[in-house]
Structure 1
Amino acid sequence: MNPRTYLATTRRIGLQLLADRRTVALILLVPTILLTLLYFLYKDVPVPAGQTRMFDRIAVNMLGVLPMLVMFLVTSVAMLRERSTGTLERLMTTPLRRGDLVAGYTTAFAVAAVVQSLILSAVTFWLLGVQVEGSVALVVLVAALDSIVGVSMGLLASAFARTEFQAVQFMPIVIGPQIFLCGLLLPREEMADWLYALSALMPMSYAVDALAEVRQHADLTASYGTAAAILLGFGLLAVALASATLRRRSG
């Protein structure tokens, strides 16, 4: 990877992203709005004595779901747009390498992902009053990693789509099963053995596992570290595969 072309690519993509107000709004505002809707949905649900609000548990878990979902959608469509408009084909005739392009996309969107995670976490804990046993910083870290994994998976998925519409169609295929099996709807330990094994192959499961550790334990646990490391590993693997499978054209 050439540092000069990598930085130039990152800058170009970052400026393009900032100029697209709808995409910026989708990244920064939509997850917050959805989480706020959930707050009002569970606001009047009775809380038994000695127990935490149901919304607190759901909100923390959603920090492992919403960032990945939104960043997957945005990144996959953005990369397909580069290819379908011919921009990618023109860039590949220059000294720009595949690794420079993928790394530039990953960096630019990862910055947006981190900002998204900070805003979403701030709204969750300081505006909606969600409480956890552990450090809020650990939650923010997982939310940021989760967003970055969504970016890398979006880049990978874009290699197998020919149009922006096809990129969107990958979302229920890639993200849908993860939402069902990550532990959001049912604890993974209570699933059938084959479903549990399948969930172990999905990065969102480790985001939810790590967030559960923060929600339940005041101190940093080994399980949290393991889940966060595996989540990061999924992201690095997806970036490597995206770079290897990158094509110039959508057709």
Structure 2
Amino acid sequence: MHVTRGSVPVGHPAQHRAHERRGRLSATAYLATTGRILRQLAGDHRSVAMILVVPSVVITLMYFMFQNAPHPPGMPTPFNNACLIMLGVFPLVVMFLITSITMQRERVSGTLERILTTPLRRLDLLAGYGTAFSIAAAAQAALACLIAFWLLGLTTAGSPVLVFVIAIINAILGVGLGLLCSAFARTEFQAVQFMPVVVVPQLLLCGIIVPRALLPDWLQWISNVLPASYALEALQQVGAHPNLTATAARDIAIVIGFAVVALCLAAATLRRRTP
């Protein structure tokens, strides 16, 4: 558009449409976001230790705790049962904490707000964060399973690969829940406070302490809508059966569904401005 003694450039509608199309071609930005988060995690030695070292150390400690515990002949050792539970619990808890705190740190520093001014879509942005943390979760699960199976003698009727896969899926669930809960926190401390609200009830009702069948009916209803219940049941199925059972396959699909829904809700609640 031209005016007297000068001109003012006005974007043509076709330019805006091209801009929107560029926003949809977000592979480069998605990979850049994933790489940036991975570099940040690698530079944060405390987070690396929490993700990789702490679960393996706790599992090793449990091995020595149960080393002399008696058990009926032909039955799984107490360490077997406890280790399977920990391989499912640790990825969920650790990745929830790391993800929610890191995401809140991005908000407070203003990094997230600057990123959201680019054509990168929210879902693509969350996919970048989810991918980066899932890679970290895979490293955690690989190290923990390696130590449990090959150094500490964990045995399962099913394949250790299935245990590894379920551990990664649980970690991705923790990533999704962490990203979602971080949207409702104002500080890193508030992000941590979501853990007793979101994670602890799942651990109490998933069957670790009391079998789900022995819970009161109203608690069984609550347990049936919590993803950790299905994650633990899938691990127990792998521990007891040599082949993938229909129950385990269903439970894995349910946990994946919860993780996808959590990631989508996190994208929908992602704020463009930091309060």
Normalised by the length of structure 2, the TM-score is: 0.88
Q: Which residue of 2 aligns with 1:167?
A: 191
Summarize deviations over 1:138-171 as a string: whole Å, max 9, x none: 1111001001110111000100100000001111
**Backbone CA RMSD of aligned residues:** 1.2
Please state if 1:63 is matched with 2:55. no
Report deviation, 1:218: 0.9
Moved over 4 A (4+): none
TM-score scaled by length of structure 1: 0.97
Q: Does 1:157 align with 2:153?
A: no
Give the match for residue 223 of structure 1: 247
1:102 to 116, 120, 126: 126
- The one-letter code sitting in structure 2 at the alignment partner of 1:91 is I
Match of 1:178 in 2: 202
**Count of residue correspondences:** 251
Question: Which residue of structure 2 aligns with residue 16 of structure 1?
Answer: 40
Task: Give the residue type in structure 1 aligned to 2:266.
Answer: A
Tell me the residue number matched to 1:73: 97
Matches within 5 A, 1:81-230: 81-230=105-254
Unaligned runs of 5+ in 2: 1-23
CA distance in 2, matches of 1:180, 1:226: 22
Whole-angstrom distance in 2 between the partners of 1:88 and 1:136: 38
125 and 84 in structure 1: CA distance in 2 versus 1, 3 angstrom threshold: same
* Counterparts of 2:62 and 2:142, CA distance in 1: 19
Q: Give the aligned partner of residue 68 of structure 2.
A: 44
Contact 1:80–1:250 (Cα < 8 Å) also in 2: no
- Return the alpha-carbon distance in structure 1 between the equivalents of residues 87 and 221 of structure 2: 23
**Equivalence for 2:16:** none
Percent identity over paired residues: 51
Deviating more after overlay: 102-111 vs 46-55: 46-55
Q: CA deviation at 1:196?
A: 1.1
User: RCO greater where, 1 or 2, for CA within 8 Å and sep 6 or more?
Assistant: 1
Could you tell me which runs of 5 or more consecutive residues in structure 1 were left unpaired when the two chains were aligned.
none
SS in 2 for 1:6: helix
1:100-151 deviations in whole A, cap 9, x for unaligned? Answer: 2111000000111111111111111111111111111111110010011101
SS at match of 1:133: coil
C-alpha distance in structure 2 between counterparts of 1:172 and 1:30, whole Å: 20
Cα distance in 2 between the residues matched to 1:28 and 1:3: 29
Cα distance in 1 for residues equivalent to 2:236 and 2:214: 15
Give the Cα separation in 1 of the matches to 2:43 and 2:130.
Answer: 18
**Counterpart for residue 260 of structure 2:** 236
Amino acid in the other structure paired with 1:11:
G
The one-letter amino acid of 1:45's match is A
The one of 38, 59, 71 aligned to 1:35? 59
Q: Could you tell which deviates more after superposition, 70-79 or 91-100?
A: 91-100
